[in-house]
Structure 1
């Protein structure tokens, strides 16, 4: 066993060297071509929907790091096996390393917008790993008596050099990535139709309540990518094609020259569970979607969907009738007074109020195709998610937290509620244990497309108590009480929690 341990380490070190070098090369072009990220992205695509939803529900925003870590762990186990194979048959060990890289290369080239150049990082990984394993094997073969601990100067030098290359590649890739992720210096135009000043929320009045406006850094992010794309505004274009009178392509500067509107809109992810965190509110700047479509002219052959495509070929489908029914559907360039952050779609994304993000919020947008659901199916449609996905009326308790211990007496319960389909939030009601529903106090109104903060003062007696909340729309519709999971058209049910009152 003692003589096998170095070979296990050789396989791992050789693989880390190849991956480190590949990561640096991928950072210079497209981080998603990095072998580990490419395999991780393929795993996301192949994972059944119930498993994806379980991962999001269980791990929250840590689901992607856990996925990458799991892929990496599996790769290193096989890398160790490759090192052990190389002890007796060097060609077999090298072959296993190449096979691992081939899997990553297949994941890279099967992306919708992949090119031959995208194989560069995988090729670097293969050459680097095999060369590293060959060097270590040669130095080990020349060590005295083949013993691992007896002054194998060549082995130690090789291991130190390769370890340095692995670290330099990994760190260098991260440094390059951070440099590329720096925001561009973009001057946004003033809106032709600005939003009214947003009222002051309850942030300072109700400790623990969600801020009325979500900062860009705190805004949720849910998408299928494991990296943050770097798309240059200089190279970006938006093409409108399909069932249109004429195909049109806009540059970023041409889009900025169009009249813009500014709107306060709440976005919600369909994966948001009852009481979940995948909802946020911001002020968006952009061109009305209808103005962009009008440049091309909507055709007359029966298109029923807008198939939007991002820079890497990811597709999202939006019902055409909902996108053009008069709501403030936008092609956005700004978020909370700044250019879109890269992680939220820079340079351009879609925002359509009232619809879950998987049918309305394409990031890194590059194409709008007027077509039909029969002719083309988008990513989520292929996976049997709903085509019409209105955001469901919902309320959430932010404070106190579940299972919290609070003192008897005056307790402030607070949170947010949203109702983008039926006249906004009309009222929020709270129920303590089996008591009747009681009206909560509403915070300021930011518009029907924006959430409302709320709070309720409770004279809390000692003991264990159940708190529930529900929203009622401005039209009098009550929040659905039946519990449903996010798949296929969004979660429903009341947010309830238990608190201990001392």
Structure 2
């Protein structure tokens, strides 16, 4: 019984190893053609599209920025479980085991072909996997058969041959994956782009409270710490040399811009805070940066929209993902930008290189298309974007909010002077005019505000609290420059953003 189990596990491992060889080489092929066509990523992206909205929100709340890694890992575990089954089946009937591997690749190929802009070249990684995985399994099966024959004939070199085959295939699988990542990193590098000097630069950002209040969020978010929430499992690799932006739909004339033509247009710099609609009260999916780009209205004017009947801008990314932005909000005078730079450098790949949208005051799911390639003037009655089809709001202004960064929830602090601090934002409402703190349901007390970075930028704040022993509940609220207070009414992120007051419990001892 034990020997039978060991043989089953061995052949299961053969199936897994053969599949890893196929995945590794397919990943390398995808790096050369299109990274998004990697079979595991294609299946994972399809799973995302088919996942109900409540489950997506649960994943974001539960796993945070690790949600993509969890999804890819889950898909990979499922694939390898079936691969193990293929190995076990191949012990008795090789053709049947190989067929299981081919079916797995066929599922991935179907996922690749469902991508809006898929072409024949995108199937190359799947073809590589369909050839490599069964070939690897055949090599392992024949090597094991020869080893078994050697044992029956009294020869002892069979085990060594099996180990050499396993080692070689493991190296091939690892080399394929590593080489794929290396090739992707060398393609279309943002650091090779030289950004123009803005015709309208932003004023110097005041020094924040970063050094004065330990634990407070930095006044400007470093690009490496900026939140990332999107439907992409990988980091897309888009070449600035091949990139174009098309403006079409209900316009006077269709226009297509190259990256160099976009860079030649007058650039502006603006300090803007972005917020994801999935951000819960007090959540981490908000960040502030300095953006360099062309005003969206300047880009739209190239195509002529004076007589348009459109009520939305349908923006499309390089892979066909669509986002809807209300046209009246995008053109009402706010600093809506077609962006090429972030914090003085080209956009990082994970934040939309080479070009993205940034529109202040609107949640990202209706305003912040990354890897932008098309702007279509149309009507909501005629076309619906990705999130609109899933029941999210069409008009979603960012809600006034304040967050406590320090102390952390359930922290233990010493009695006496305790600094409570954080950030607050109230875009398109005159900025943050005030922040108030309440302890244990007592009166609201005005906090001290940090420097003002503009109406579209968040504001740091802090309050010195004379803490006494015991457990205490701290709450915070913001007031906008137009006098509008932050609402205490709690709402979940779906369909137009979370609301309520950020409260946390601390222990003083």
Q: TM-score, normalised by structure 1?
A: 0.98
Alignment of 1:111 onto 2:115: yes
Match of 1:427 among 413, 431, 434: 434
Match of 1:457 among 461, 464, 478: 464
Given that 1:41 and 1:226 are in contact with CA atoms closer than 8 Å, whether structure 2 keeps it comes out as yes
Alpha-carbon spacing, 1:485–1:146, altered in 2? closer, same or farther (3 Å):
farther
Of 297-306 and 350-359, more deviation after overlay is shown by 297-306
Match of 2:284 in 1: 277
Given that 2:426 and 2:455 are in contact with CA atoms closer than 8 Å, whether structure 1 keeps it comes out as yes
Match of 1:365 in 2: 372
Name the CA distance, whole Å, in 2 between partners of 1:145 and 1:280: 64
Deviation at 1:299, TM superposition (A): 5.4
Deviation at 1:147, TM superposition (A): 7.0
Name the CA distance, whole Å, in 1 between partners of 2:441 and 2:224: 39
Name the CA distance, whole Å, in 1 between partners of 2:109 and 2:151: 37
Match of 2:147 in 1: 143
Name the CA distance, whole Å, in 1 between partners of 2:259 and 2:189: 18
Name the CA distance, whole Å, in 1 between partners of 2:409 and 2:151: 59
Match of 2:312 among 305, 310, 315: 305
Deviation at 1:180, TM superposition (A): 2.6
Match of 1:159 in 2: 166
Name the CA distance, whole Å, in 2 between partners of 1:485 and 1:159: 51
1:264-300 alpha-carbon deviations (Å, 9 max, x no partner): 1000000111111110111111111111111111153
Name the CA distance, whole Å, in 2 between partners of 1:23 and 1:59: 25
What SS is found at the alignment partner of 1:143? helix
Alignment of 1:447 onto 2:454: yes
Given that 1:411 and 1:460 are in contact with CA atoms closer than 8 Å, whether structure 2 keeps it comes out as yes
Match of 1:245 among 242, 252, 257: 252
Match of 1:375 in 2: 382
Alignment of 1:225 onto 2:195: no
Any runs of at least 4 consecutive aligned residues in structure 1 with deviations exceeding 6 A, and if so which? 146-150
Match of 2:486 among 471, 479, 491: 479
Alpha-carbon spacing, 1:163–1:254, altered in 2? closer, same or farther (3 Å):
same
Deviation at 1:177, TM superposition (A): 2.4
1:430-449 alpha-carbon deviations (Å, 9 max, x no partner): 01002111110011111110
How large is the RMSD of aligned CA atoms in angstroms?
1.5
What SS is found at the alignment partner of 2:13? helix
1:220-255 alpha-carbon deviations (Å, 9 max, x no partner): 111111111111111111110000001111111111
Matched residues, number: 502
Match of 2:33 among 26, 29, 33: 29
Deviation at 1:451, TM superposition (A): 0.4
Matches within 5 A, 1:293-442: 293-298=300-305, 300-442=307-449
Match of 1:131 among 119, 132, 135: 135
Alignment of 1:268 onto 2:272: no
Given that 1:20 and 1:170 are in contact with CA atoms closer than 8 Å, whether structure 2 keeps it comes out as yes
Given that 1:140 and 1:146 are in contact with CA atoms closer than 8 Å, whether structure 2 keeps it comes out as no
Match of 1:466 in 2: 473
Match of 1:89 in 2: 93
Match of 2:297 in 1: 290
1:182-233 alpha-carbon deviations (Å, 9 max, x no partner): 4242222221211111111111110110011111111111111111111111
Alpha-carbon spacing, 1:192–1:452, altered in 2? closer, same or farther (3 Å):
same
What SS is found at the alignment partner of 1:497? strand
1:45-87 alpha-carbon deviations (Å, 9 max, x no partner): 1110000000000110011111111111111111000011111
Match of 1:235 in 2: 242
Match of 1:498 in 2: 505
What SS is found at the alignment partner of 1:204? coil
Deviation at 1:259, TM superposition (A): 1.2
Deviation at 1:416, TM superposition (A): 0.1
Name the CA distance, whole Å, in 2 between partners of 1:456 and 1:172: 52
Deviation at 1:158, TM superposition (A): 2.0
Name the CA distance, whole Å, in 2 between partners of 1:241 and 1:178: 32
Alpha-carbon spacing, 1:350–1:256, altered in 2? closer, same or farther (3 Å):
same
Alignment of 1:3 onto 2:10: no
Alpha-carbon spacing, 1:100–1:146, altered in 2? closer, same or farther (3 Å):
farther
Match of 1:173 in 2: 180
What SS is found at the alignment partner of 1:500? strand
Deviation at 1:174, TM superposition (A): 2.1
Name the CA distance, whole Å, in 1 between partners of 2:33 and 2:224: 25
1:304-328 alpha-carbon deviations (Å, 9 max, x no partner): 0000011111111100000000101
Name the CA distance, whole Å, in 1 between partners of 2:451 and 2:189: 35
Deviation at 1:155, TM superposition (A): 2.4
What SS is found at the alignment partner of 2:437? strand
Matches within 5 A, 1:69-80: 69-80=73-84
Match of 1:59 in 2: 63
Q: TM-score, normalised by structure 2?
A: 0.96
